[in-house]
Structure 1
């Protein structure tokens, strides 16, 4: 393996991140109190157009907190796509509920509403759409199913900050939604997440649980088993600075996807396509090769050229802890075995893109 010359991701830190972090250090407000926590929450809510936002320490606990706020627990089922990052399923399992896996749509790679409908049982309490790699799910169809069966909708927007569905930000359709700000996300706090909702009761419940279940009316009195899921002021300071440049970052990522599309034209690969009535934020620019036999050799070839890539997520239903009632999800499996995430950081140069494309071209010309 050659030394990495083009990493799969690198955050863009060209704004007020250092200034705001230094303010935290200078004022000694470095933990979960300080001005940046509230400002980041309120500015994030305004940016996506939602009433309430509660910051947390990472995206996985954001999902857990959202499920806790809804009262999801033992004996419940939550429908989730099998083609997702493991955190979506694990957070369901943390509550004692059962993740029920469904297949993907071939054109969008997102959760298949018709397969959702097929998997609803009397124990189903919620549907968890995951806006995978920055492309929006079919929220009209999913919300209609949820209304018909009186189910909650928990949107996992970990990879989809800036993604739009029919002109609205994802995360504003469900009962409650979550975002991740890990170091490789479109906006980052290093580690961090957000729970958002238009429901004041759910917002209050989420804040209560994330702060160790501390009661409002009595100092150091705890009335539920809570969690220490709070975001630090330092992380929020970075997040606020990131929000200030978010529109530019998303614009650059979308331009990056278009440059890849042009550079890869004529090669036997298919770029993850933006669907009608959506704006794809292209957290990761991803391709499919024609057959699974090409995927790993192509990644090895790129690695030899110093280009880092990732495979698409393994379908969660194939992993040992979730395979007890194994069944096939053929579209998700096919996408997973053929998919590659290409280097996708917003500051990539045209030269970097051409280097990646040239390496792929050399592979297929052998």
Structure 2
């Protein structure tokens, strides 16, 4: 693992790429097979085994994985999809990409997953699906999601973009719903630079995914297209990195959990801070070290002055400028005024995400802990 020198600047993320990853890419170049090929097949098989699903396809990125899953389920114009109010904007824009409308649902206040006690407020005759988002390295209550979906006849699209390695009641996230969608962006637990994956259990749905992602045909090399499809493929260069990254997954998860425990132990006695951990019945593969902190804006500015790059919470979707009527994204009025999203607003106003990645040393985490303690206890902390 990385050395533990304290750096003057601690970036919010540094991808964990090593000689094995570089050698994997070089091998694909030497083999002269750079489009989807043998490494892509290996990557898909390894992901299916990890997630424990019989079927899956690659996608260019996490947002496109969500759109591909939605299209395969037949969700489109006139349909509505329930989406938690705290998530990356790509969860909602994926719904818009297929012509459907996202309807925002309040989140619960502990780990900021979708609040299933509030989900019914967003229902209408047009609701076709619900999109739980496994946020910040822990899991939604998938039993509650499943009960709700069955009761109302909805598809379940799991946004597990941050969820590689995360389990709920022993099952890997992304294996509960009709489809489960993953991202391999640079800040994810494993990365291919850009990339995504759609997992599923139904063979007919898998066939539709294959057609949609490969220009409406099952195999390349044919100019006969039985269906309308698109190019949602990856490259073997990216897949080769993914295969190499998966071989290090246990070490990556173990290191991230160790770093999180250093944060948690060092900050546990500060009454101004709550370190957000695992949701009930879920494991925790930290995406960042997530704090709910008093004076979060001031703390963020203070850390920046001391060389630490941080990130805020995701901006609540109901407040996003891109989803306002002025920007032609008129959303249904359910569940009502912005006061209906008090937990989402609270999380954004007090949430702060600290660096946590496999190339980060323990000494750097201890440095950040000392700086945070000095912010709240300036008279007693050096």
TM range (shorter): over 0.9
Determine whether 1:62 maps to 2:72.
no
Determine whether 1:278 maps to 2:282.
yes
Which of 139, 142, 145 is matched with 1:136 structurally?
139
Asked if structure 2 preserves the Cα contact closer than 8 Å seen for 1:15 and 1:241, the reply is: no
The Cα shift of 1:144 comes to: 0.4
CA distance in structure 1 between the aligned counterparts of 2:362 and 2:31, rounded to whole angstroms: 41
Structure 1 length as normaliser, TM-score? 0.95
Aligned to 2:303: 302
CA distance in structure 2 between the aligned counterparts of 1:55 and 1:47, rounded to whole angstroms: 15
- Larger displacement relative to structure 2 (276-285 or 186-195): 276-285
Aligned to 1:336: 348
Q: Which runs of 5+ in 1 are unaligned?
A: none
SS in 2 for 1:300: helix
Structure 2 length as normaliser, TM-score? 0.91
Aligned to 2:112: 109
Query: How many residue pairs were aligned?
Result: 360
Question: Following superposition of structure 1 onto structure 2, how do residues 1-366 of structure 1 map, counting pairs within 5 Å?
Answer: 5-14=9-18, 16-32=20-36, 34-214=37-217, 219-267=222-270, 268-290=272-294, 294-324=295-325, 325=333, 327-328=337-338, 329-366=341-378
SS in 1 for 2:104: strand
Asked if structure 2 preserves the Cα contact closer than 8 Å seen for 1:76 and 1:97, the reply is: yes
The Cα shift of 1:225 comes to: 3.4
Asked if structure 2 preserves the Cα contact closer than 8 Å seen for 1:158 and 1:181, the reply is: yes
Asked if structure 1 preserves the Cα contact closer than 8 Å seen for 2:87 and 2:317, the reply is: yes
- Larger displacement relative to structure 2 (221-230 or 173-182): 221-230
Deviations, residues 303-324 of structure 1 (Å, cap 9, x unaligned): 1111110001000111123234
Asked if structure 2 preserves the Cα contact closer than 8 Å seen for 1:212 and 1:226, the reply is: yes
Asked if structure 2 preserves the Cα contact closer than 8 Å seen for 1:252 and 1:347, the reply is: no
The Cα shift of 1:43 comes to: 0.8
Note the aligned Cα RMSD (angstroms): 1.6
SS in 2 for 1:26: helix
Asked if structure 2 preserves the Cα contact closer than 8 Å seen for 1:16 and 1:241, the reply is: yes
Q: Which runs of 5+ in 2 are unaligned?
A: 1-6, 326-332
SS in 2 for 1:71: coil
The Cα shift of 1:15 comes to: 6.3
The Cα shift of 1:215 comes to: 5.7
CA distance in structure 2 between the aligned counterparts of 1:298 and 1:249, rounded to whole angstroms: 28
The Cα shift of 1:14 comes to: 3.7
